[in-house]
């Protein structure tokens, strides 16, 4: 991903900080912390999926500026 936004979340409700990434290409990912708050160990980013297992993709387009 080129540009990303980061939100600190406890995605798996285990008491530590995981990273939710929103990317320029509309491909949101989650980075799970397999450590704890005192020793954060982040796993590789994983694409988010719908409940049926298909990959989640988002897109928006502003007319006139050419960005998605």
Q: Across residues 3-30, what is the average pLDDT?
A: 89
Domain that holds residue 26: 4-47
> Looking at residue 27, what is its pLDDT?
83
Residue 65: count of CB within 10 angstroms of its CB? 7
31-50 pLDDT, tens digit each = 999 999 999 999 999 999 99
Residue 27: inside a domain: yes
Structure-token pair, residue 32: 């799970």
Q: What is the mean pLDDT of the chain?
A: 85
Q: Could you give the number of structural domains in the chain? A: 1
State the Cα angle at 31 between 18 and 2, rounded to 5°. Answer: 125
Position 1 confidence tier, pLDDT thresholds 50, 70, 90: very low
Residue 62: inside a domain: no
Residue 53: inside a domain: no
E strand segments, 1-68: 4-9, 18-23, 29-31, 46-47
């Amino acid at each position: 991903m080129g540009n990303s936004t980061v939100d600190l979340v406890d995605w798996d409700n285990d008491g530590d900080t995981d990273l939710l990434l929103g990317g320029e290409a509309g491909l949101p990912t989650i980075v799970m912390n397999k450590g704890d708050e005192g020793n954060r160990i982040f796993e590789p980013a994983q694409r988010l999926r719908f409940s049926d297992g298909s990959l989640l993709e988002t897109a928006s387009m502003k007319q006139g500026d050419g960005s998605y």
